[in-house]
């Protein structure tokens, strides 16, 4: 209501509400003044024998209606409901939300801050932190990665050992805070680079051969040279990817979209752009630290105990893959 650009609408709504409430009371009062002839009908008949009798309204119903009208007027005096009038209590849904957020921050921020001071590897094995991390994950991450964190088509599995940007705690933290942008260039508009549709088919067969999938060996042999010239800059000469740019490993059997030849050709031809949004502005570093610890401890390798930390985890950072993988 405070967003009205003209005082007319505030006045219009106020008058409309008051007339409606008071009108209900006046209408009931008029019914009280009407003349009734108990025991006799009004000569209104439905379904041949269903008749309306001329009886007054029950007193309990009448008084309940009057009380409702009075309550409504009292409510409108103390709470907003009349245009831009804020009411005597000056309550608003935004104000209540801000208060609840402030109360929650006062209660939980010290807990988040206490874990923020600890190493992510230590936080990952703390039972209390794991429960908090799970709650954060289900709130902010499960929509894409699934409640079990195993992802889906187009969304990475966070429980295996396949990581695009690295599975070290610091790399996971960066993925959550800063987000990731995965870009696979489209080569369909540049026939010289890949050799058109025929070249894309050859490269696709070579890519399938890297992970031991069925392929045409003749086409794969032709595609190997094109892969070396065009694709190895990101995926490496051996096709094992590059975490520095988020290029996926093409030699394993983990595919984010599909390993079908047609799907690989489509991505080579049309490219693909995916993005994981940054969460730093609404999560903050303390919450992101607990969330990163939870993701780090999901799988893909043993999580080190605080007393004897193991090497950085091998789990995948929560970021979109940039290719057919």
Same domain, yes or no: 41 and 171: no
Write down the H helix ranges in the chain.
Answer: 7-33, 59-78, 93-116, 120-123, 127-140, 142-145, 169-178, 191-194, 196-210, 217-226, 232-235, 261-270, 280-296
In a domain, 86, yes or no: no
Same domain, yes or no: 171 and 236: no
Q: What pLDDT is stored for residue 314 in this prediction? A: 38
Query: What value does the mean pLDDT of the chain take?
Result: 87
In a domain, 246, yes or no: no
Structure tokens at 301: 């390798």
Q: What pLDDT is stored for residue 282 in this prediction? A: 86
In a domain, 198, yes or no: yes
Structure tokens at 42: 């009004």
Same domain, yes or no: 180 and 96: yes
Q: What pLDDT is stored for residue 308 in this prediction? A: 35
Residue 282 phi, psi (nearest 5): -110, -10
Compare 271 and 193 and report the one with higher pLDDT.
271
Q: What is the CATH number of the domain that holds 150?
A: 1.10.760.10
Q: What pLDDT is stored for residue 5 in this prediction? A: 66
Beta partners for residue 162, in sequence order: none
Q: Is the pLDDT of residue 224 over 60?
A: yes
- DSSP character for 215? -
In a domain, 313, yes or no: yes
Same domain, yes or no: 12 and 69: yes
Q: Is the pLDDT of residue 317 over 80?
A: no
Q: Is the pLDDT of residue 24 over 70?
A: yes
In a domain, 144, yes or no: yes
Q: Is the pLDDT of residue 229 over 50?
A: yes
Same domain, yes or no: 33 and 74: yes
- Maximum mean pLDDT: which of 188-202, 257-271, 289-303: 257-271
Same domain, yes or no: 297 and 177: yes
Length, in residues, of the chain: 325
Q: What pLDDT is stored for residue 210 in this prediction? A: 95
The boundaries of the domain holding residue 36 are: 7-78
pLDDT above 70 covers what percent of the chain? 90
CA distance 77 to 18: 11
The number of folded domains in the chain is 3
In a domain, 245, yes or no: no
Q: What pLDDT is stored for residue 195 in this prediction? A: 86
Q: Check residue 39 and give left, alpha or beta (phi > 0: left; psi -120 to 50: alpha).
A: left
Same domain, yes or no: 46 and 64: yes
Structure tokens at 262: 């047609």
Is 0.85 topped by the overall pTM?
A: no
């Amino acid at each position: 209501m405070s967003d009205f650009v003209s005082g007319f609408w505030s006045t219009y709504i106020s008058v409309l509400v008051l007339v409606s409430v008071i009108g209900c009371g006046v209408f009931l009062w008029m019914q009280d003044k009407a003349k009734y002839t108990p025991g006799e009908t009004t000569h209104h008949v439905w379904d041949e024998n269903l008749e309306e009798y001329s009886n007054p309204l029950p007193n309990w119903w009448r008084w309940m209606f009057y009380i409702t009208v009075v309550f409504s007027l009292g409510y409108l005096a103390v709470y907003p409901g009349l245009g831009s009038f804020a009411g005597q209590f000056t309550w608003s849904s935004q104000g209540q939300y801000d208060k609840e957020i402030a109360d929650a921050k006062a209660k939980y921020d010290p807990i988040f801050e206490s874990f923020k001071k600890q190493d992510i590897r230590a936080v990952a094995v703390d039972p209390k932190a794991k429960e908090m991390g799970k709650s954060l994950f289900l709130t902010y991450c499960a929509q894409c990665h699934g409640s079990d964190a195993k992802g889906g088509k187009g969304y990475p599995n966070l429980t295996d050992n396949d990581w695009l940007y690295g599975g070290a705690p610091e790399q996971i933290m960066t993925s959550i805070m800063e987000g990731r942008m995965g870009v696979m260039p489209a080569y369909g508009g540049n026939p010289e680079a890949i050799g058109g549709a025929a070249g894309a088919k050859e490269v696709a067969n070579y890519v399938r051969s890297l992970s031991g999938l069925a392929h045409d060996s003749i086409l794969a042999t032709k595609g190997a040279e094109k892969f070396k010239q065009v694709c190895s800059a990101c995926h490496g000469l051996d096709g094992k990817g590059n975490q520095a740019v988020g290029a996926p490993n093409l030699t394993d059997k983990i595919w984010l979209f599909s390993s079908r030849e047609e799907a690989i050709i489509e991505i080579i031809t049309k490219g693909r752009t995916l993005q994981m949004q940054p969460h730093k502005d609404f999560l903050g570093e303390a919450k992101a630290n607990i969330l990163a610890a939870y993701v780090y401890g999901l799988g893909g390798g043993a999580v080190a105990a605080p007393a004897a930390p193991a090497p950085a985890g091998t789990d995948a950072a929560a970021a979109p893959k940039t290719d057919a993988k």
